Structure 1
């Protein structure tokens, strides 16, 4: 056992970065793999998250900034009926100990990594549980606090996620399926106690949304593409563009109630702007 621990310490010293992963190809050949396996239930099966591409089922990060990296492990139980696990291990003395664990229902793990969401200079643990093709993914964010990880947002659901890395913190663009292959998009930034919509950043991100739906509309001029496009234009505060999209949407047979609601939002936003001028 002492030899295994010594090899493990040597490996982590070589892998001395603020955050990192161990590649899946190398995983089973490393003493680290066997050491972690001893701490899991016998029926545990390691899970490699779908993203980021380079990530493996074992990741390391120095949450408490003591120059000693903790290990985050993602796994499932073979007969766990859809239960997925994320487990944090910390080295105390010469032994690794479980200090935190969370579980979720799901089929896989869409994302697992460390990003500075709050802008405090220390990465949070970001995990997205893959629930299913229809339901999408469940996003959770955890911050190191008083020797453990604590969830700092209510779970959010999405089908596609993009990390928007700024100078001091990472924001998120979440695409949630509305209908078919049309998505409602939110661009979120941490503000004080939660992730909130960021209109300025949304406007910067908007060209990507616009390009996506313009290509879709060329293939099929459907009301639901115009609906999500108008929603994005309202969120980006592009009043003239939103007005045109809503007018176009009202020409379709379907979705009239949805576009009438968008028009109410547009009128409210316009009235607020006029009142502040």
Structure 2
């Protein structure tokens, strides 16, 4: 996971969460490598004040709750039913708008993949931005340098498990209301791909094939730019 705009969880945040989720609910603990409760504190509505976002399980169903503090009172400003049986990702980053964080959630539905959900604050409250299923086994979020350098918006590298230690990897950015392939950052992200695949090349034919595919896509991106 790349750089995101989040801060550490304090004791007061746990008290707030406990007071706002149902008494029968329990916080979801994200599996490894996170191995921690699905809670973050970040500015999610662009007002320079921190909100709390958490994922909890209640009566067998998954939910995400976002709470805001007005003066000394915390109250929910978003509470949505989720998917799957746990969460693999919970992070805040400026994906849709360079001036405001989005909330990205990985709802784990399969043994090796999650469905990515992006919540964005709007004039009508939080909205689900992705209308189509977007699968990933691993997510890296970072403002990646393209042809004109960094632009303040975070790109998403979505790793989808293929076989063994091999992954299909695509890098996206938000544009015109959807996630689109970010060809111009492939030369930058390719170096991370090389580092990973060099460590597993001898163990996996699929890894070797995926690295060759990425090299072809990198050459195509360079020609386009």
Is the partner of 1:43 in helix, strand or coil? coil
Aligned equivalents of 2:121 and 2:73: distance in 1? 21
Deviation at 1:109, TM superposition (A): 1.5
Q: Which runs of 5+ in 2 are unaligned?
A: 145-149
Q: How does 1:188-199 map to 2 (within 5 A)?
A: 188-199=172-183
In 2: Cα distance, 1:66 partner to 1:59 partner: 17
TM-score of the superposition, structure 1-length normalised?
0.66
Larger radius of gyration between Structure 1 and Structure 2: 1
Query: Structure 1's 68 and 86: CA in aligned 2 closer, same or farther, altered over 3 A?
Result: same
Give, in whole Å, the separation in 2 of the partners of 1:54 and 1:145.
Answer: 31
Residues paired across the two proteins, number: 212
Evaluate the alpha carbon distance shift between residue 147 and residue 22 of structure 1 in structure 2; reply closer, same or farther with a 3 A threshold. Answer: farther
User: C-alpha root-mean-square deviation of aligned residues, in Å?
Assistant: 2.9
Task: Give deviations 1:228-264, integer Å, cap 9, x for gaps.
Answer: 223222322359xxxxxxxxxxxxxxxxxxxxxxxxx
Counterpart for residue 147 of structure 2: none
CA contact (8 A) 1:22 1:56 kept: no
More strand by share: 2
**Greater RCO between the two (CA within 8 Å, min separation 6)?**
2
User: Equivalents in 1 of 2:56, 2:211: separation in Å?
Assistant: 38
What is the aligned counterpart of 1:74 among 33, 50, 55?
55
Q: Does 1:229 align with 2:211?
A: yes
1:51–1:111 CA contact under 8 A, matched in 2: no
CA contact (8 A) 2:45 2:101 kept: no
Q: Normalising by structure 2, what TM-score? A: 0.79
The structure 2 residue matched to 1:179, chosen from 163, 176, 184, is: 163
Question: Once the 2 structures are TM-superposed, how far is the Cα of residue 76 of structure 1 from its aligned partner?
Answer: 0.9
- Kindly indicate whether residue 126 of structure 2 is the aligned counterpart of residue 149 of structure 1: yes
User: In structure 1, what is the Cα distance between the partners aligned to 2:196 and 2:74?
Assistant: 47
Q: Could you say which structure has the higher helix fraction?
A: 1
Find the partner of 2:17 among 29, 36, 47: 36
Distance 1:226 1:113 in 2: 31
Residue 121 of structure 2: SS of its match in structure 1? strand
Aligned residue in 1 for 2:107: 129
Counterpart of 2:81? 103
Are the structure 2 counterparts of residues 54 and 68 from structure 1 closer, same or farther at C-alpha, using a change threshold of 3 Å? farther
Extract unaligned runs of 5+ from structure 1: 1-17, 240-272
TM-superposed deviation, 1:101: 1.6
